Structure formats: C-alpha cells, structure tokens
Amino acid sequence: MVIKQKKYYKSLKVNCDNEGIAKASQIIEQGGIVVFPTDTVYGIGCNPYNKESAKKVYEIKSRDFSKPFPVLVYSKEIAKQIAEFDEISEKLAEKFWPGQLTILLKLKDMKLKESLNITDKIALRVPNHKCTLQILEKCKYLVGTSANVSGQSSFFDPQECIKNVENYDVFVDGGTITSKGESTIVEIEDGKVKIIREGSLSKEEIWNS
C-alpha cells in the first residue's frame, strides 16, 4: 500500500518573519487554510480560486454558503485584474488602500464566480498590515474573512483565536491587534457611495473623502 505524503502540516504555528511567511504562502498555494493577522482582526482564508479550500473555510466558520467571502489583494493593480473600477471606487481605493475599507465591485474574473459562489460582484480590500501584505506579495490574493464562528465576536488576541478556531492548517502569529474592529464595506450605486457595513472607518470619513 502506498501512503501519500501530506502536502502541508496540520495546525502549524509560525511567526510573522521571512520563514513563517514563506511557509504560510506555500501552504496556501497547496490548498491549505491559514489564520493570519490583519489591520482589523485575525482573519482566516485560502486561495480564492480553490473551491474545495473555500468550502472548508465556510465549514470552519459555520457560515451560510449564500454569504460570499471578501478577498484581500496585494494592490489596486491586482484588484483591477479581478474587478472593474469606476471613477468613484478608483478614488476611494487611492485614498483608503492599504486600509480598512472593503469595496464591493463588479466581478471581472469569472473563474472566481464558481470557486467563491458569487454572482456578479466581489468585495475587495488591500489590508494595511505588514505581515499580511508580505503574504499577499507572494500569493497576490487571499480569502480574507474574520477568523471566528459566524455570529460570534472577532479575535484581536492570538491566544484567544488559537483556542477558539479549529481545523486550519497554519496560524501566523502577529501578536495582539489594536484596531477599531472590522473593515467598513461600501458599494457604488448610481454614482453614490452606499455604506453596506460601517466598521473601522466612519461613514463621515468616507463621504468626506
């Protein structure tokens, strides 16, 4: 009997250093699930083009499959490969990326439609966190949803996150996160900015931009 070698370790913990980032990136490319720090909360994600990996993240979070995941990207240029920007979303990205603003945009890359179970729009963000950006520099994009069971509080403390989240492949420890909470989500409708969820950025900050 031939025993297949595992592609990645289960529940590996690494630091936000070159070695840890390289290992986390490798695991993501192999279809693994990663828990990682961001500028808002601890997140959990995978390669957004991997349908099975995305399904596993849904299961870990006990999240309804009808609720699509946001995607973190390394830069606005990468985002433009996935989605379409208009003048207003372009302006918002210029001002708030990297940062705590998620923008709902028209999907351009139809491969993501199937893997992420989305229709014609996708939520994108460039996070303002050195460790996450170093991972994204290697991977380009990453499902970036909060690392908690749906309906429960998000995690800022790595030890609390480790104790309460299960079945991931690698945990990237970035220490305690100091933020006002999750990102603010906006959408452009009829030439106006619509707030879908108010988070770290207030609607006044966005509307006055």
CA angle, 100 as apex, 185 and 74 as ends, to 5°? 105
Local mean pLDDT, 10-residue blocks, the chain (209 residues): 45 94 96 97 97 96 93 97 96 97 96 92 97 96 95 94 95 94 94 93 87
Homologous superfamily in CATH for domain 12-207: DHBP synthase (3.90.870.10)
How far is residue 162's CA from residue 157's CA, in Å, rounded to a whole number? 9
State the distance between the two ends of the chain, measured CA to CA, in whole angstroms: 63
Nearest to 141 by CA among 55, 52, 40, 25: 25
Are 73 and 208 in contact by the 8 Å Cβ rule? The answer is: no
Span 54-96, pLDDT tens digits: 999 999 999 998 899 999 999 999 999 999 999 999 999 999 9
Q: Mean pLDDT across the chain, nearest whole number?
A: 93
Instruction: Give the position of tokens 């030439």.
Output: 191
Q: What distance in Å separates the CA atoms of residue 101 and residue 192, rounded to the nearest whole number?
A: 16
Residues 6+ apart with CB under 8 A from 110: none
Give the H/E segment covering residue 175: none
**Can you give the residue ranges of every domain in the chain?**
12-207
